[in-house]
Structure 1
Amino acid sequence: MENKDSESRRKRMKPDEEEEGAISDSEKAQNEELETFVAGSEEVELAVAHILEKIERFTQLVSELLGSGKAMFQKIGDEFEERMIMVHKEQIEKWQEEIRELRILDASNEEANALLHNARGLLHHAHVDS
């Protein structure tokens, strides 16, 4: 589009055949510079388009990396949560087993204590009776 605009400007700026001989060298040089500038602009626009393509590809790559990183962290987070729940469950089961063992030991000690108490009572009565 820019090329068409500059071309139409050049056509409008071009003098008639009669005035052509009257164009100075500086005007010719300016016209040549304008054509060079237009060609340079096309090159710049191509370079800009190339950079914009790089930006788009990089943005897409970053987006994909963010997505895969997020998915990876979600998976790791889920695995961590499952492992922590399992560790907690195992530890609770160990402590519950300790509680059961302590209660069994306590019940056994209470029975032994009751037997000893009864034995003392019998010995005390037997000693009093004699």
Structure 2
Amino acid sequence: MESPGTEVTRKRMKPAMEENEGDVAVAEIVEKEEFHTDIAGSSEMELNISHILEKIERFTQLVSELLESGKTIFKELTNAFEERMIMIHKEQIEKWQDEIKELRLLDTSNEEANAVLRNAQYLLENAHIDS
């Protein structure tokens, strides 16, 4: 025979057990405790057991909430990390593209200077031959 307090606890535990698939072991413990309350007799014992079952329920809820908040924190950290890595990549690519542009400008300037020097050398050689 169950007392009304134990019945209320049992009704509250079932939805929590269905929500938390990983709480199968806790559910088994609760069921064993409830079975023992059927056999046990004193109302004081029943009250103590129901307090323990309430502690189990609160602890299970706390663990569930901590897991969810941990998942949320890790998702936020993952997103922030991903965004930062993409930003770093983009900045580095832009730096290298700027370096490429500078090298091309330098190469163009060097080619122009080289052409002027070749023309001057040609003029000097021709002036030297003509003299």
TM-score, scaled to structure 1:
0.69
2:98 partner letter:
E
Rg larger for: 1
Structure 2 residues not aligned, in runs of 5+ = 8-34
Which residue does 1:69 correspond to in 2?
77
Post-superposition offset of 1:38? 2.4
- Structure 1 position 90 matched with structure 2 position 98: yes
Of 91, 100, 116, which residue of structure 1 is paired with 2:124? 116
Which residue does 1:58 correspond to in 2?
66
Of 50, 54, 74, which residue of structure 2 is paired with 1:42? 50
Post-superposition offset of 1:75? 1.0
1:95 partner letter:
L
Runs of 4+ in 1 over 3 A off after TM superposition: 1-10
CA offsets per residue over residues 22-71 of structure 1, 9 Å max, x none?
A: xxxxxxxxx6xx43332211111111111111101110100111111111
Post-superposition offset of 1:9? 3.6
Post-superposition offset of 1:115? 0.4
Post-superposition offset of 1:81? 1.4
> CA separation in 2, counterparts of 1:47 and 1:67?
30
CA offsets per residue over residues 79-125 of structure 1, 9 Å max, x none?
A: 111111111100100011111111000000000000000111012xx
> CA separation in 2, counterparts of 1:41 and 1:8?
11
2:47 partner letter:
A
> CA separation in 2, counterparts of 1:113 and 1:45?
100
Superposition RMSD in Å? 2.2
The 1:92–1:7 alpha-carbon spacing in structure 2 relative to 1, beyond 3 Å, is closer
Post-superposition offset of 1:8? 5.2
Structure 1 residues not aligned, in runs of 5+ = 11-30, 124-130
